[in-house]
Amino acid sequence: MRTSSPTAAASLTSALRDAINAGRWPPGAALRQEELAAEFGVSRIPVRDALSALQAEALVVVEPNRGAFVAGFSAQEMSEVFDLRVLLECEALRHAVPRHTEATVRRLATLQRQLDAEDDVQGWARGDRAFHDALYAPCERPRTLQIIASLRGSVQRFYVARLQPGSRRAGWHDEHHALLSAVQARDVDKAVEVLTRHLRETQSLAVAAVA
């Protein structure tokens, strides 16, 4: 039985994940193996493996005898994802705040300055993800972080598509700076309070995007 190389499958998985999260294909769009193989210059085997990996991340739905499709979300499913995000991200933050150092806080501040200056929506989305990754990184809970990344990736494209300059981004700006201040003060309870509000506000935007 032929298999794809781990490198080829992993590279293609990453490329397709980024394209889906950037909104290249709308929910329900067909992902045809032969077309993807031709576009990325690979055989259909790594395409099949990449689609299987993305199905495990809830970004793709593979239906027998029909093929693969970009996953969509109902409002109820979106709310469930955010309920899980609140639980896991707040727990990660509780463990991360006491472990932040002067260096990691400086890193957070640098990422936020870059985010404040970002005008491109997709660039902003990448910066926002980098900020949250750095925020939780010291928690020393790799499995929790892996689940958080999967949940975030599965829904981010829905609310990013609704962003306009000066809309919800202004609220995110204020909440990120409040998070940064709480981490600098090593105030765990305040950090969790701000993050909960931050995620619930984002949840409202995401649910509206699929309603």
Do 138 and 201 fall into the same domain? Answer: yes
* Closest to 203 measured CA to CA, from 137, 152, 166, 131: 152
Do 171 and 123 fall into the same domain? Answer: yes
Residue 133 or 21, more confident? 133
Q: What is the pLDDT of residue 94?
A: 98
Bridge partner list, 30: 69
Q: How far is CA 104 from CA 100, 116, 129, 131, in A?
A: 6, 18, 16, 11
Q: What is the pLDDT of residue 147?
A: 94
Give the H or E element holding residue 13: helix 6-21
pLDDT band at 166 (very low <50, low <70, confident <90, very high): low
Q: Which range marks the domain in which residue 113 is found?
A: 75-210
Pick the last residue of a domain from 70, 93, 121. Answer: 70
Q: How many domains does the chain have?
A: 2
Q: What is the DSSP letter of 61?
A: E
137, part of any domain? yes
Q: Per residue in 37-83, pLDDT tens?
A: 999 999 999 999 999 999 988 889 999 989 999 988 899 999 999 99
Do 148 and 175 fall into the same domain? Answer: yes
Kindly report which listed range (150-154, 160-164, 171-175, 203-207) carries the lowest average pLDDT score: 160-164
How far apart CA 150 and CA 17 sit, in angstroms, is 10
How far apart CA 95 and CA 93 sit, in angstroms, is 5
123, part of any domain? yes
Whether residue 107 contacts residue 134, with contact meaning beta carbons closer than 8 Å, is answered with: yes
Q: Is pTM beyond 0.75 here? A: yes
What share of the chain has pLDDT > 90, as a percent? Answer: 65
Q: What is the DSSP letter of 167?
A: S
| Coil vs helix vs strand at 202 | helix
Residue 170 or 27, more confident? 27
Alpha helices by DSSP H, listed for 41-187, are: 44-56, 75-96, 102-116, 121-136, 142-160, 168-184
Q: What is the DSSP letter of 43?
A: -
How far apart CA 26 and CA 71 sit, in angstroms, is 9
147, part of any domain? yes
